[in-house]
Each structure stands twice: as C-alpha cells, then as structure tokens.
Chain A
C-alpha cells in the first residue's frame, strides 16, 4: 500500500489528544500472520493512525480478502 492511499482531506484531521497535525509515513499493519507496511496518516507525537473510510473499504478490504484466500 503506497501513499496514493492518502487523500488531501485525510490530513484535515488532527490528533485531538496531542493537538498535532497528521503526517504521512510508513505504518506496520498485520493480518492473518502477514505483516507489512503502508504509508498512512498518523500523529507524529503519539503515533495514533487514521484509517479513512476509503482505505478501510478499498485497499484494506481487498488485501484482507487476498490474505483470507491465501
């Protein structure tokens, strides 16, 4: 998953707890014993990751399906 997953509007969200703007960077994700990285928006201070609707229902769902059938 590359940074084309991140849309400009995703970066209008801010980390409420840290009062920080989000940055895009490499994030570890895992499913069914497979671990890989993807560029996703997250808080530079606490590391909390924002998963947008289009990522959750698009690329993520697609990869979940692929791994479930592996």
Chain B
C-alpha cells in the first residue's frame, strides 16, 4: 500500500466528515461540539467553541441568522436544533477571560471602509496577524451601523465591549470619515498596502472599479479581490453570519496577497459545502423543539440545555455499531487504515497494529453496512499478505490453524475416490474439513444418501479447501492447496462438486471457479431426505454463516428446505446478507481468542430461541458458548448418540482431528474395503486425561497427540524430571516450533496427565 492508496482508502471512511450544521455554516462553527457542551452544562467550553470559529461572538452570537438550522439532521426527527437561540443563550453568560497576545508587526497597513460586521471581522483577523489596521467609519462611533439593532436583542454595551476588545488587539478606528468620498479612496490607495470595502455598510460608489450589472462592485465571491489587486470588497448580504464570513475570507485573501502567496490554494471547502457524512436515523425517536417560556428573552439555561440535548451528535459509525472487533480497538476504519499503513511501513520498533490486523474475522459486514463501501476485510487481508511476504507475521497468530489445515491435507484425512463399484464420477461430495471434524457420522449418512439418489457415480473427496491459508494471508500455501484440489478433481474426471461447507463455497467461487460446484443444500432440495427428527415445538432462529453473505441463493435454498420440512424459522435482527460472524472466520479465534469468545457470545444472545446453523464451525462455536444450536443436517440425518442435538457439545481440537482420521478409516474399510494406514507408534500410547485438564489443553491449543509425542520421547530417552513427593514426572518435547510440557504419572498401561502447557521460545541451554 502506498500513500495514495492509503489516502484513497481513508477518504472512503466518512466518520471524520463534518456534521451538517458545520458544513452549512459559512464560518463552519462546530455546532455538534457546541451543543454537546451546552447539553452537559459546560457553558465555558461552549463559549470557547464560539470564540474559536465566530468573530465578535458577543455580537454575532446574539444576531446570527443560523443557516445551519436548515441543514440540521434533527429536522427529520422532531425539528432542527435551534442553534441560533442556543448561541444567544450562551453569549449572555459572561465570557471566559482571554489574554490578547500582541503580534509582531508585519510592517504593512490595511484600511477597512465601514464598521459593519464584515469590516470589524476583517479588522480583528488582520490585527491578529500583525497588520496595522485602521477602520474608517462615517458615523460618530466605531461599529455605528450595529447600534441600529434592537437593543433588547443586541445591547449597546455588548457592541462597546467588542469594539473595545478590537482596540486592545491594536485596531485603530477613525470615525467621522466620509468613506464614500473620492478623497477617501485616494487616501486609501496612497497610504495603505491593501483596502477592504465592507459592502454591508458602504457602497464604494466613488471607487473606479469594475462593476456588476446592478452597479455594485464586482469582486471575486471567494477571495473578495476586485480588478484592482490591492482592493478587496465583499459582504453584499443582509445575513449577519454571511457578512462576518466575507470579512474573514477577505482577511485571509489580504494576508495572502500581502505575503505574495496563492489567494486560492486550499480554500475549496471555505464557506458552506455538502458534507459526505452519513448518520442513520433508524433508532432515533422524534423529539419536539424546546420552546422558551419567554421567547423575546430567549432560552433560560435549563431550556437551552434541554434543547441542546436533542442534538443527534451526528456521526456515521455504521460499521462500528455492528462489529465488536471494530469497537474493540476504539476507533473507526479511517483511523485503522492509517494504523495498518504505519504498521506495514515501519522498519524498526513495535508493530502496534499486528493484533488489529489479525483479529478481523474478514466477514465483510462492515462493507455491507458502510454507505461508502469501506471493506476492512480487504485491508486486513492485504496487510496479512504483506506481513507474510516480509516475514513479519507473528508465528503465534495463525500457526495452530495452519497445523490443523496440514492435518486435513495429510494422509490421515485427505483422500479422493470414485464411488465403490464405479469407474467414473458424475459428482463428487466434498464435505469440507470441519463438518467431518464436528459430525463425521452425518457425513457418512449424507454420502450414503447421495449415492442412493444420484446416478452415474458420486465420488468422495476428503480434504481442506485452503480457507485457513487464505485467511492467514499465506498465498503460496493457499495456491498449492488449490492446485492439489484441482489435480484430485481432474484425476476423478472433472465431476461436479457437491460442497457441504459455506467457507468451501466461498473459496471455490473466488479461486476455483473453473470447477463446477453446487451446494449440498441444492442437492438435498432436489433429492430430499426424509426428515427423521420430529419438528421442534418452538421456532428456530436461523444463523447464516458470514461466508454466505453474498450467497443469496444458498440462503434461500436453506430456508426453502426448512420450510418444506415444516420447520418454523425466526429471522435474527442481523441475518441474511447482514449476518455476523460466529467468531471463527478469518482465524479470529486463533489470533484473538478472547474477542472471538465475546463475538460468539454476542451472536448467541441475539435471540433466546434455539438456533439452526448450516455451517459446522458456526454451530460448534455457538455451542461452545452454551447456546442451544442444531445443524440443519441434525434434522435429516440424526446421530443416535445425541438424542438432543441442540445440546451436543463442541468437539475439542483433539476430537476434531480424531473424528476426521476415524471417518477416513471407517469409509476406507466399509466402502472401499481398504486397510487404513498403520498408526504411528506414539498414537498407541494411552493417556488418561480428566475433563478439566482436557478443557485447559483445548484452550491452550494442545492436542492429545502432542502429549503422546512428549511421553514417547521422555520414556524412550529417559530425559524427564521427577518429583519425589508426588511421584509425578515432567517432560518436554518440541515436535515443531512449539515446545510442549506434560506432567504425568505412569499408571499400569497408561499415563495419567496432570498438567500440560507450551511455549514457543527455544531453550538452548546453559
């Protein structure tokens, strides 16, 4: 990813876009922060927001015509926030003290004609930049036109105070000057480096400048520059906030002009613009506008607070609202994109975003809900690939899952055969690794059903589709596995694949599209099995796997199957294309087990009903959180050992491998009458493991087979530690990059395991 790609990606996330009020305000007053402060009674902070964006806040805060209100998102749910009235309520409170720091003089003089809002704004801004500023006013006092406002709304002493503040900033006022005379124009051009004509109070009729058709002075609407380079003019508006904004823009232009830099660069978003922000009103209840008991006096403090609390605090956060992972890292995709980019860019130092990158389930829900199509899963997968390529991927992140994939690819599980008694295959059943790991008996039943119902031969392929390697960013490993599948399929004569797992469906569609494939569900629809289990009394909530997000036909097919069987279905609030991951996807469970547990728990809590899943991994992950959940196959092909299939526990990792290995052995023996491969010697070692120790081993990702290897090594070599008082032994062995330790007691023909743990660090010795 380069800087340009990063910026393109960042710009897709609109969370940092300004709210509608700010975008609509010519001065970009942060109405959202302002309302938040008032809502919480932080009046001084609210004042500071106004002072930061608003010139002459004492004056403008009282008379602002608040065009922001027309754009307020709250107008769609009860009525726009009365920002103008809130400003008025705020500035009636004594302003917080400010220190005026004298600026070093820039040695340039600027004349301002008239002392309306625009000229006073320009004067204050220019004085703040170190220019020698003189305001010329034809009336008898500075700010004369402002004294025409209703004193109940804008008391004269407020104007006095703001003029006084300008004087302290260094602004000079010359009153009683005929600012419409040609002598004044000549004087300005002679004695000043730049001039501003505030057209809100002066006409500029004696100036020799290009004019509009209606006779007004022609000036650039954005820079306020006239055809005379040193003369600027603006504020042909009756709106106070626009008058102030013109003064501010003129001051920026004059400053740039006097410094000899571009007048226009970087000013695209000056003045009102269209924000790209999105704010959902889906969960927003309408609330009526708060009215003031005495509208002429304006809001009391408590009325203002009540009104400010109606502010929606507009933001997007659509993805973060539906994703525990995005929420966990306490930001949003725009920030995450930067963190990921930095993580990939640094050479030395801590890679702080490793966990962020590896914890994503790659489920794609963020993109589904994003108004702008931001795909966190693409970002994370791209980053994982770069980390793998640069040998920067933490070994612990995915190794266990990749070892499990290696098991699925090995002779212990992998196989491809034509149907017994057939020389060719029209179809081949590919149940996927985790259905075999979870429910091997059902795989046998399904295969039996397919053989009985489909003519011309149904072959069988056991193995892995490569999804773990894909999710881990291991492109080479994934491509090798895809090529292996392709070879096996070709060797079977190119039959149509029947896929039993939605993750396999995803992998085949995205990476093996030359292989014709259908889902098991579509075959069961055309060749329906008899439902063997009686219908449950209450509806089942259907959990779609995240890999079915873009598989509308598969989701519909599953629902038709359930409907035809008389199963009553409840849809979850986040279902179908908006479904959530069960916590396994993208190897989240490997890289961040705590988060994966929380994700599964939250998913399980979406409904109190029993769930029905059609992905074995989803079923087991939800079952592991104590959720009652059946697999669709439980309904058609029940396993007699589990009379209540919704309560079937998740097999642990050791059982998942055993289930696969035994399934292959049984099928070879029963269907093809082939002997299974001889068992490696360590697997004959008998261990006795309590459920508590087994549970801990599973959490620590230690397989029974790992311990068999340790004990075989220790008992053969004698390299073990002894603990005389307990009679226990402790030994270690590293079958791969992980060293496993086991504490055990030899008892008769077996070994009782008391504890097991592992580490990755290599111990070299003294």
Q: Give A contacts to B, CB under 8 Å.
A: 12-17, 22, 25-32, 35, 40, 42, 46-51, 53, 56-57, 60-61, 63-66, 68-70
B contact residues around A48 at 8 Å (CB)? 719, 721
A contact residues around B732 at 8 Å (CB)? 51
A13 near B722: Cβ-Cβ < 8 Å = yes
Can you list 11 A-B pairs, Cβ within 8 angstroms, ordered by A?
Answer: A17-B720, A27-B765, A28-B763, A29-B763, A30-B764, A35-B764, A56-B758, A65-B396, A68-B395, A68-B397, A70-B351
B contact residues around A27 at 8 Å (CB)? 763-766
A contact residues around B755 at 8 Å (CB)? 53
B contact residues around A63 at 8 Å (CB)? 761
Select the stretch in B42-50, B427-435, B723-731 that faces chain A: B723-731
Interface string of B688-730 (1 = CB under 8 A from A): 0000000000000000000000000000011111111100011
The listed residue (A28, A51, A68) touching B766 by CB distance below 8 A is: A28
B741 near A51: Cβ-Cβ < 8 Å = yes
A25 to chain B, nearest CB (A): 6
The listed residue (B724, B759, B766) touching A47 by CB distance below 8 A is: B766
B729 near A28: Cβ-Cβ < 8 Å = no
Main secondary structure of the interface of A (DSSP, over half): mixed
Which residues of B in the span 378-423 have a Cβ within 8 Å of any Cβ on A? Answer: 394-397
B719 near A17: Cβ-Cβ < 8 Å = yes
Q: Name the residue on B nearest A68 (C-beta).
A: B394
Q: Name the residue on B nearest A70 (C-beta).
A: B350
B760 near A50: Cβ-Cβ < 8 Å = no
The listed residue (B722, B725, B760, B766) touching A16 by CB distance below 8 A is: B722
CA of A65 to CA of B761, assembled, Å: 10
State whether A14 and B762 are in contact (beta carbons under 8 Å apart), knowing that A48-B719, A51-B739, A57-B757 are contacts in the complex: no
A34 to chain B, nearest CB (A): 10
14 additional A-B pairs beyond A27-B765, A40-B763, beta carbons within 8 Å, are A13-B730, A14-B722, A16-B720, A27-B763, A29-B761, A29-B763, A31-B761, A32-B395, A46-B719, A50-B721, A51-B763, A53-B741, A56-B757, A70-B350
A contact residues around B723 at 8 Å (CB)? 12-14
Q: Name the residue on A nearest B732 (C-beta).
A: A51
A contact residues around B7 at 8 Å (CB)? none
A64 near B396: Cβ-Cβ < 8 Å = yes
CA of A53 to CA of B717, assembled, Å: 22
B765 near A64: Cβ-Cβ < 8 Å = no
B721 near A31: Cβ-Cβ < 8 Å = no
A18 to chain B, nearest CB (A): 10
B171 to chain A, nearest CB (A): 56
Q: Name the residue on A nearest B755 (C-beta).
A: A53
B659 at the interface (CB under 8 A from A): no
B contact residues around A53 at 8 Å (CB)? 741, 755, 757
A47 near B765: Cβ-Cβ < 8 Å = yes
Top-5 shortest CB links A-B: A68-B394, A28-B764, A16-B722, A56-B759, A13-B721
A contact residues around B395 at 8 Å (CB)? 32, 68
State whether A16 and B761 are in contact (beta carbons under 8 Å apart), knowing that A51-B739, A53-B755, A68-B354 are contacts in the complex: no
State whether A30 and B761 are in contact (beta carbons under 8 Å apart), knowing that A16-B729, A42-B766, A70-B351 are contacts in the complex: yes
State whether A14 and B724 are in contact (beta carbons under 8 Å apart), knowing that A28-B766, A29-B763, A70-B350 are contacts in the complex: yes
